[in-house]
């Protein structure tokens, strides 16, 4: 942020001239309070020797240590250090992974008067790695002191020139003498982040840390009786002091957990709070976001959190929305409303320096209030001349107090810059003070904060410029934050050299190098021209200016160029299609035509006999449709073609289920044979008669075909104003019972083609609604029932015209699934690829508009509500079935101008009242509705009833109808219905869901035809939503969408209103060829892989395809062609190797954690977007599946599935594994991995 001067920034809030200064007054030292860390532990041991510290390491192994045992072990370890030559006043570096080892080493140093220097143990111990370089740099700066570390690290670190010792090597020594330590002596030397530059040495005295502790206790942030649970790294001052030092001050038990144990499954944080009765914990903002994401996916456990008093959020920018998303859903688990406490501090202020209870924002700056400083400390905000500014004005934040360091290590120039003449410390933050609360408003310094870690941009820029093809001295790394990000994101601008490799390769190389070397993911990559990189007056890189340009959208073209090359969640892949009707005449089929079974009234059956030349028309009454198979069997007994010759059996409709095996009394109860009924006079329940064959001459388009059985089912009914679900169910019953009858035939039955005939009345009665539900039911039945082909024909309401249309369909061999006969013209529904035209800005969606969102607590509905609020400052009426509980309150609080109402969306009256109330509340009319509500319950077709079918589809279908009715008097309002490709293609065991979503597709078309602004968006599976988790792997023809891509699809649909938009379509897949997407027309370039021998000529007809010649097919473990590997080859991620069982586990972990598409055996973890944070989760998943105990370093050094598998085979000895702790599946997997022969 640019510097602020008093002349440029007048006070924004009239505060009566009050200065931006908070002074909490002098600190009074309690009698007998410890003055040093030595006295701190000494008093804890004297008063509570048996109190326990629980340690949990990365693997979840636990150990306990009493205060008294810690004192004894620390003195013995100090004795061991002393025997090695260490003496009081020396410095000793600590780089340990296990919390218990770190605490022992820390106190061994402290009790001996040695200054501990906490540092992170690098994931990789190779000398070339930045983490090792940092250890070497610090060691050289301190004169090569001892380094206490893990036993496994001593050899490689010693080879790197460090004086490495393991804690175990110091055990067994005689206790060392207790040092006499002065309160003004250094207690901790903490080095800020930085590897290639010169990190700052933060020297904290015993008095600093004691003042911090006393201030936190006096403020009530840590009290006797508290139980601290912390998983923050102990190599940070905050991780050591809060809660460990505070727990010793209050003499209370506490739990210290390895960070990566929790990051492997962040819900373990809540597990531990519940298990240990934790009352206090803390974490950076990003961790609260990780938990909130899991809670939104309804991943809950039986937590008890009523005892939790303080959950501090510090270490990086605090986002109120994130904290509310975390806390509100946990109210049901007992979490108190004000348990989450935003805080601010830094190593230079002995960690936490200000804190406040509850999440509030500054009224003008929209920044989180972070509280006042503790007793004995003060904060102020000043201008560029160090003059205090009025309250409410943004300026530079400065701090003073006993908790603040006196100076950095051996750096007079830095100290002169960091302190004012009157002793205030310049924090480098921009802030605002109002009514005793401080809020951070930005950073003056260019340090990035990534997942709570301070990172210098120079370190990143140096790594980027080591990539061949990047022009030196023109790279700029800066922080940014997108709307949904939980922490700062890394943006890198760079200039390619003239001889740089192709942009896609260069971008992947940069991302891989930064991830591998520094462990961070580059979220945004921008290739620039040299002249686009700004320079300051002194010639330095203009990081602040370039960040401003990027966030202002001035580098949009460059950014989108990078996105188009890299792809990923921020881009829309070529997977869009639209539905449309095209006129298409029929070709007459010649040959045997067989029989048609019609489930309908006699009037329709008679009309069809007159029209269907050459067919025997056999009627089954609608109430007897469940006996359909008996009719087919009766025809077979009379040798009417339906066995060896495929019989064409059209079918018709009506209402209730049959209760006995008599069809309207026209079958004899004695033998029940259809041929007897057929022999009687016309007009009975089953009638027959073969019309004369068509004598017309077959046209050139005539087609020969074997007979296929047809079923024709017209859906009819009377209008009803109320349209109860029972009325709709009664009209669905004949078709459902007929389909269930066919489902009972079993495997090997003759093919039956069901043609559902739907007369179009254009009404809004039960029959019309049932007609709109019919296609989805049919597509589901075709997917679930062997030997069933499904078709739909929309016909005029006139019975004669309907019969004529059906007769024409029967006389053809057309494979179109859905047709419509309108004014004598036959139309077919087809799907065509769609590329949206450019759009400069939203046109249909209004900024500040009022919108209804149903299903608002579901994954996609919630995200769309956020997008409307953040992007358009919308007012929102949120509707859902769940009561107005913690989740709803959290969402309301996060969104601000939002009102949640628990309403059954199918209840038109309740919905209308909710809309009226919202319009009155917000003072404006509703501008549109977004319908995301729906239910997904898998049920086999044979177990459905008409009632459960309609009930399962009601949220989608009847909810949409209710919305359209409520908005009818608001003709300009948009109606947007979130449907599913399952409704378009059908899916077994999901009849109700498919019927409901297919209803939305046709309902939107109907509204559009009436002049309404309506659109249905049929989405594929969306990652991390309920549908994707319920179904698992995507079916053929579905491209899994990222949530951002699904939301973009909705936005495109709204702006362009194509009536029916499909997103996530894999156009070349067979299901879409059946559904009518061209001739299997792909939505992107077709890549054809061939295994060719020398001299082979490529097949003809592939002129538009991209050909790839392979020496052999890559295969998965089951022998099938590895299509993922082929896809990975296209993006440079494959190496042609087969995916074995272990490689498959790794690829699955990459896919699950990173959300990456097209993962192959050669896909690089860092190129896919991996970071050190995600490496923990990936390795945890691999270990969970295999039973191995791999460490993150293995992934860093072997970042592809192939490389990691080779590493495992090389280092894991099967004979040394303890298989008693492994499951049978893990043992089987390891046997196949380690003994592949």
User: Which is nearest to 685 in space by CA: 639, 652, 715?
Assistant: 652
51-94 pLDDT per residue, tens: 999 999 999 999 999 999 999 999 999 999 999 999 999 999 99
- Residue 169 contacts residue 80 (beta carbons within 8 Å): yes
Q: Cα separation of 36 and 205, whole Å?
A: 9
- Residue 381 contacts residue 393 (beta carbons within 8 Å): yes
Three-state DSSP class for residue 516:
helix
> What is the CATH code of the structural domain delimited by 590-689+710-811?
3.40.50
Domain chopping of the chain, boundaries? 448-566, 590-689+710-811, 842-1075, 1114-1234
Looking at the DSSP assignment, which residues form a beta bridge with residue 429?
443
Query: How is residue 238 written in tokens?
Result: 């905050």
Please list, in sequence order, all residues whose beta carbon lies within 8 angstroms of the beta carbon of residue 1220, skipping any fewer than 6 positions away: none
* pLDDT-wise least confident of 6-10, 138-142, 575-579, 1048-1052: 6-10
Q: Cα separation of 851 and 864, whole Å?
A: 11
In the chain, the largest separation of any two C-alpha atoms, in whole Å, equals: 117
Q: Cα separation of 161 and 159, whole Å?
A: 5
**For position 540, what pLDDT does the model report?**
66
- Residue 566 contacts residue 507 (beta carbons within 8 Å): yes
Q: Taking residues 354-376, report their average pLDDT.
A: 85
CA atoms lying within 13 Å on the CB side of residue 351: 31
Q: Taking residues 1069-1076, report their average pLDDT.
A: 72
Which run of H or of E encompasses 756? strand 752-759
Superfamily, domain 448-566: ANL, C-terminal domain (3.30.300.30)
Please tell me which residue, 681 or 547, carries the higher pLDDT value.
547
1002-1017 pLDDT per residue, tens: 999 999 999 999 999 9
Q: Taking residues 804-814, report their average pLDDT.
A: 82
DSSP letter (8 states) at residue 616: E
The CA–CA distances, whole Å, from 999 to 294, 870, 907, 1219 equal 32, 31, 18, 54
- Residue 216 contacts residue 100 (beta carbons within 8 Å): no
CA atoms lying within 13 Å on the CB side of residue 174: 2
Antiparallel, parallel or unpaired: β 310-313 and 280-283:
parallel
**For position 364, what pLDDT does the model report?**
56
Based on its alpha-carbon atoms, the radius of gyration of the chain, rounded to whole angstroms, reads 36
**For position 1067, what pLDDT does the model report?**
78
- Residue 824 contacts residue 802 (beta carbons within 8 Å): no
- Residue 55 contacts residue 73 (beta carbons within 8 Å): no
User: Which is nearest to 407 in space by CA: 211, 242, 189?
Assistant: 189
Q: How far does Cα 732 stand from its chain's mean position?
A: 37
Please tell me which residue, 635 or 148, carries the higher pLDDT value.
148
Residue 163 burial by Cβ neighbours in a 10 Å radius (0-12, 13-18, 19+) = middle
The CA–CA distances, whole Å, from 427 to 11, 138, 193 equal 21, 23, 16
**For position 718, what pLDDT does the model report?**
36
Per the rule left: phi > 0, alpha: psi between -120 and 50, beta: everything else, 683 is: left
CA-based torsion, 581, 585, 591, 596: positive or negative = positive
Q: How far does Cα 844 stand from its chain's mean position?
A: 28
**For position 342, what pLDDT does the model report?**
95
Looking at the DSSP assignment, which residues form a beta bridge with residue 63?
55
Q: How many residues does the chain have?
A: 1237
* pLDDT-wise least confident of 339-353, 929-943, 1146-1160: 1146-1160
Residue 215 has pLDDT above 60, yes or no: yes
DSSP letter (8 states) at residue 30: P
Please tell me which residue, 1162 or 1078, carries the higher pLDDT value.
1162
Q: Cα separation of 258 and 374, whole Å?
A: 29
Q: Cα separation of 1028 and 478, whole Å?
A: 35
CA-based torsion, 603, 609, 615, 617: positive or negative = positive
Please tell me which residue, 402 or 1208, carries the higher pLDDT value.
402
Strands lying side by side in the sheet with 489-494: 476-480, 489-494, 522-527
Q: Which CATH class is domain 1114-1234?
A: mainly alpha
Q: Model confidence at 701, in pLDDT bands (50, 70, 90)?
A: very low
Antiparallel, parallel or unpaired: β 818-822 and 875-880:
unpaired
- Residue 148 contacts residue 92 (beta carbons within 8 Å): yes
The CA–CA distances, whole Å, from 178 to 44, 81, 572 equal 16, 13, 66
Strand extents, DSSP E, 5-107: 21-23, 52-56, 62-66, 91-95
**For position 876, what pLDDT does the model report?**
98
Task: Report the mean per-residue pLDDT for the chain.
Answer: 82
The Cα angle at residue 851 between residues 850 and 857, in degrees rounded to 5: 130
Q: Which CATH class is domain 842-1075?
A: alpha beta
Residue 407 burial by Cβ neighbours in a 10 Å radius (0-12, 13-18, 19+) = middle
- Residue 647 contacts residue 680 (beta carbons within 8 Å): no
Three-state DSSP class for residue 1179:
helix
Three-state DSSP class for residue 185:
coil
SS3 content of the chain, % helix, strand, coil (to 5): 35, 20, 45
The CA–CA distances, whole Å, from 383 to 188, 374, 424, 529, 1231 equal 32, 24, 13, 36, 68
Residue 782 has pLDDT above 80, yes or no: yes
Q: Model confidence at 679, in pLDDT bands (50, 70, 90)?
A: very low
The CA–CA distances, whole Å, from 890 to 407, 671, 893, 902, 904 equal 43, 67, 5, 15, 21
Q: Cα separation of 1028 and 1047, whole Å?
A: 15
Please tell me which residue, 905 or 124, carries the higher pLDDT value.
905
483-495 pLDDT per residue, tens: 556 667 889 999 9
- Residue 1119 contacts residue 1111 (beta carbons within 8 Å): no
982-998 pLDDT per residue, tens: 999 999 999 999 999 99
Q: Model confidence at 644, in pLDDT bands (50, 70, 90)?
A: very low
Residue with tokens 């309804």: 298
Q: Cα separation of 381 and 385, whole Å?
A: 11
Looking at the DSSP assignment, which residues form a beta bridge with residue 617?
596
Q: Cα separation of 362 and 559, whole Å?
A: 33
Looking at the DSSP assignment, which residues form a beta bridge with residue 754?
711, 790
Query: How is residue 705 written in tokens?
Result: 């075909």
Q: How far does Cα 798 stand from its chain's mean position?
A: 51
Q: Model confidence at 723, in pLDDT bands (50, 70, 90)?
A: low
Q: Cα separation of 203 and 115, whole Å?
A: 10
Please list, in sequence order, all residues whose beta carbon lies within 8 angstroms of the beta carbon of residue 516, skipping any fewer than 6 positions away: 1166, 1196, 1199
**For position 969, what pLDDT does the model report?**
92
User: Which is nearest to 258 in space by CA: 1207, 1187, 1197, 1180?
Assistant: 1180
Which run of H or of E encompasses 772? helix 766-784
**For position 761, what pLDDT does the model report?**
78
Q: Taking residues 792-811, report their average pLDDT.
A: 88
Asked if the domains 590-689+710-811 and 1114-1234 are classified in one and the same CATH topology, the answer is no
End-to-end CA separation in angstroms for the chain: 62
Per the rule left: phi > 0, alpha: psi between -120 and 50, beta: everything else, 327 is: alpha
Strand extents, DSSP E, 907-985: 926-931, 974-980
Residue 1128 has pLDDT above 80, yes or no: no
Antiparallel, parallel or unpaired: β 62-66 and 52-56:
antiparallel
Three-state DSSP class for residue 578:
strand
Residue with tokens 């594994």: 1217
Q: Model confidence at 1087, in pLDDT bands (50, 70, 90)?
A: low
Q: How far does Cα 999 stand from its chain's mean position?
A: 28
Q: Cα separation of 1160 and 14, whole Å?
A: 61
**For position 13, what pLDDT does the model report?**
38
Q: Taking residues 96-121, report their average pLDDT.
A: 97
Strand extents, DSSP E, 135-279: 146-149, 163-166, 186-191, 201-205, 228-230, 254-257
> Does pTM top 0.75 for this prediction?
no
């Amino acid at each position: 942020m640019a510097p602020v001067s008093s002349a440029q920034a007048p006070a924004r809030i009239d505060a009566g001239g009050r200065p931006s200064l908070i002074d909490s007054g002098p600190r009074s030292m309690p009698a007998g309070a410890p003055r040093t860390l030595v006295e701190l532990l000494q008093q804890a041991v004297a008063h509570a020797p048996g109190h326990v510290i629980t340690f949990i390491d990365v693997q979840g192994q636990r150990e306990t240590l009493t205060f008294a045992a810690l004192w004894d072990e620390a003195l013995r370890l100090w004795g061991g250090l002393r025997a090695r030559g260490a003496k009081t006043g020396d410095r000793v570096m600590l780089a340990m992974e296990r919390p218990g080892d770190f605490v022992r080493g820390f106190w061994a140093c402290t009790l001996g008067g040695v200054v501990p220097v906490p540092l992170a143990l690098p994931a990789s111990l190779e000398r070339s790695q930045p983490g090792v370089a940092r250890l070497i740099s610090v060691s050289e700066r301190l004169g090569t002191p001892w380094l206490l570390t893990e036993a496994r690290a001593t050899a490689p670190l010693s080879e790197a020139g460090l004086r490495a010792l393991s804690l175990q090597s110091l055990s067994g020594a005689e206790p060392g003498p207790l040092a006499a330590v002065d309160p003004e002596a250094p207690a901790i030397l903490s080095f800020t982040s930085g590897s290639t530059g010169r990190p700052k040495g933060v020297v904290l005295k015993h008095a600093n840390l004691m003042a911090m502790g006393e201030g936190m206790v006096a403020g009530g942030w840590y009290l006797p009786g508290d139980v601290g649970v912390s998983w923050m790294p102990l190599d940070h001052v905050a991780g050591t002091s809060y809660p460990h030092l505070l727990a010793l001050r209050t003499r209370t038990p506490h739990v210290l957990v390895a960070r990566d144990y929790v990051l492997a499954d962040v819900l373990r944080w809540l597990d531990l709070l519940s298990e240990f009765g934790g009352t206090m914990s803390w974490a950076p903002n990003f961790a609260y976001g990780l938990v909130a994401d899991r809670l939104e996916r309804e991943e809950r456990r039986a937590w008890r959190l009523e005892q939790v008093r303080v959950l501090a959020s510090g270490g990086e920018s605090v986002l109120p929305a994130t904290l509310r998303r975390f806390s509100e859903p946990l109210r049901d688990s007992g979490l108190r409303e004000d348990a989450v406490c935003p805080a601010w501090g830094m190593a230079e202020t002995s960690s936490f320096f200000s804190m406040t209870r509850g999440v509030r924002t500054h009224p003008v700056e929209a920044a989180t209030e972070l509280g006042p400083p503790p007793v004995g400390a003060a904060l102020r905000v000043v201008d560029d001349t160090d003059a205090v500014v009025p309250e409410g004005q943004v300026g530079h934040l400065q701090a003073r107090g006993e908790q603040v360091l006196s100076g950095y290590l051996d750096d007079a120039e830095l100290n002169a810059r960091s302190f004012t003449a009157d002793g205030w410390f310049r924090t480098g933050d921009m802030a605002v003070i109002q009514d005793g609360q401080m809020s951070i408003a930005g950073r003056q310094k260019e340090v990035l904060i990534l997942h709570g870690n301070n990172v210098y941009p120079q370190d990143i820029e140096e790594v980027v410029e080591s990539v061949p093809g990047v022009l030196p001295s023109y790279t700029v790394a800066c922080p940014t934050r997108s709307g949904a990000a939980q922490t700062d994101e890394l943006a890198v601008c760079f200039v390619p050299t003239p001889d740089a490799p192709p942009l896609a390769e260069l971008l992947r190389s940069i991302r891989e190098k930064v991830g591998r070397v520094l462990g961070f993911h580059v979220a945004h990559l921008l290739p620039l021209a040299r002249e686009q990189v700004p320079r300051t007056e002194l010639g330095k890189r203009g990081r602040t200016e370039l960040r401003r340009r990027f966030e202002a959208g001035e580098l949009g073209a460059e950014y989108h160029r990078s996105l188009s090359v890299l792809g990923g969640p921020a881009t829309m892949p070529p997977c869009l299609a639209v539905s449309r009707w095209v006129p298409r005449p029929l070709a007459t089929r010649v040959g045997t035509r067989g029989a048609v079974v019609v489930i309908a009234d006699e009037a329709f059956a008679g009309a069809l006999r007159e029209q269907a030349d050459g067919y025997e028309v056999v009627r089954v009454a609608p109430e007897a449709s469940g006996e359909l198979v008996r009719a087919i069997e009766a025809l077979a007994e009379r040798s009417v073609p339906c066995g060896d010759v495929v019989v064409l059996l059209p079918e018709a409709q009506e209402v209730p289920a049959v209760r006995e095996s008599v069809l309207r009394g026209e079958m004899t109860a004695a033998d029940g044979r259809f041929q007897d009924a057929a022999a009687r006079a016309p007009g009975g329940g089953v009638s027959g008669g073969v019309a004369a064959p068509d004598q017309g001459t077959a046209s050139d388009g005539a087609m020969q075909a074997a007979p296929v059985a047809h079923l024709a089912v017209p859906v009819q009914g009377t209008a009803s104003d109320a349209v109860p679900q029972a009325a709709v169910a009664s009209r669905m019953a004949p078709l459902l019972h007929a389909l269930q009858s066919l489902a009972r035939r079993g495997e090997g039955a003759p093919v039956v083609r069901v043609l559902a005939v739907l007369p179009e009345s254009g009404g809004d009665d039960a029959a019309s609604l049932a007609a709109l539900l019919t296609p989805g039911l049919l597509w589901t039945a075709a997917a679930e029932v062997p030997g069933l082909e499904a078709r739909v024909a929309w016909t005029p309401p006139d019975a004669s015209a309907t019969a004529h249309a059906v007769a024409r369909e029967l006389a053809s061999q057309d494979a179109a699934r859905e047709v419509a006969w309108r004014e004598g013209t036959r139309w077919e529904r087809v799907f065509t690829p769609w590329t949206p035209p450019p759009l400069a800005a939203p046109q249909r969606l209004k900024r500040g508009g009022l919108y209804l969102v149903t299903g608002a607590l579901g994954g996609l509905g919630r995200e769309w509500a956020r997008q409307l609020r953040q992007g358009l400052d919308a007012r929102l009426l949120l509707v859902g079935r769940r009561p107005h509980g913690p989740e709803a309150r959290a969402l309301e609080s996060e969104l601000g101008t939002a009102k949640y109402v628990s309403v059954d969306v199918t209840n038109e009256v309740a919905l209308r009242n909710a809309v009226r109330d919202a319009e009155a509340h917000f003072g404006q009319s509703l501008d549109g509705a977004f319908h995301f509500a729906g239910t997904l319950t898998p049920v086999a077709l044979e177990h459905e009833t008409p009632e459960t079918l309609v009930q399962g589809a009601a949220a989608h279908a009847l909810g949409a109808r209710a919305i359209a009715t409520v908005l009818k008097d608001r003709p300009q309002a948009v109606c947007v219905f979130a449907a599913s490709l399952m409704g378009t293609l059908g899916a077994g065991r999901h009849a109700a869901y498919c019927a409901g979503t297919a209803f939305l597709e046709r309902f939107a078309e109907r509204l559009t035809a009436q002049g309404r602004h309506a659109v249905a968006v049929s989405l594929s599976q969306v990652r991390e939503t309920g549908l994707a988790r319920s179904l698992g792997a995507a079916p053929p023809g579905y491209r899994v969408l990222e949530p951002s891509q699904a939301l973009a699809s909705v936005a495109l649909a709204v702006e362009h209103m194509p009536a029916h938009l499909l997103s996530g379509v894999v156009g070349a897949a067979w299901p879409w060829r059946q559904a009518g997407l061209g001739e299997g027309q792909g939505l992107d370039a077709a890549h054809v892989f061939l295994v060719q021998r020398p001299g082979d000529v490529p097949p003809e007809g592939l002129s538009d395809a991209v050909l790839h010649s392979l020496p052999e097919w890559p295969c998965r473990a089951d022998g099938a062609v590895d299509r993922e590997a082929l896809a990975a080859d296209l993006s440079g991620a494959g190496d042609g190797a087969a995916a074995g069982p272990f490689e498959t586990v790794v690829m699955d972990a990459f896919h699950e954690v990173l959300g990456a598409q097209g993962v192959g055996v050669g896909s690089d973890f860092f190129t896919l977007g991996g970071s050190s944070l995600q490496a923990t989760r990936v390795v945890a998943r691999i270990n969970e599946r295999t039973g191995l105990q791999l460490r993150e370093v293995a992934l860093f050094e072997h970042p592809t599935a192939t490389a990691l598998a080779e590493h495992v085979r090389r280092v894991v000895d099967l004979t040394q594994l303890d298989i008693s702790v492994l499951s049978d599946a893990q043992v089987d997997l390891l046997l196949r991995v380690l003994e592949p022969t």
